[in-house]
Amino acid sequence: MVVKHERFLVAVTACVSGVAHTYMAAERLEKLCQQEKWTVKIETQGALGIENSLNAVDIARADAVLLITDIELAGAERFTQSRSVQSGINAFLREPQKVIAAVRKLLSAPQHTHLILR
């Protein structure tokens, strides 16, 4: 049986050292999206460089973008036309449900809406 997910999200995770937190955040986000029945593609910007890079088609079809980062993202301008939620990595790892709640709210917001969680 194929389960059709009604939402498609893209995300970027990146931390200062580019090691543990980048990948911990990506893993946690993947699990949360599975629980929500959302499909997600996650780009990581870590010590190994950019992995699983998001392309223009991914970004254009995304219902929302999550930017979970403590550093300046490479290619951040790709997301200016998208609905996005931005959160620091540590804040996300401490309170992931806060980010998920923001995404739910964002899904009914106009395109170009940007939420920054502190």
**CA 36: distance to chain centroid?**
14
Residues paired with 49 in a beta bridge = 46
Measure the CA–CA gap between 38 and 109, rounded to whole angstroms: 17
> DSSP secondary structure string, 39-77?
EEEEEEEETTEEES---HHHHHH-SEEEEEESSPPTTGG
Catalytic residue numbers? Answer: 15
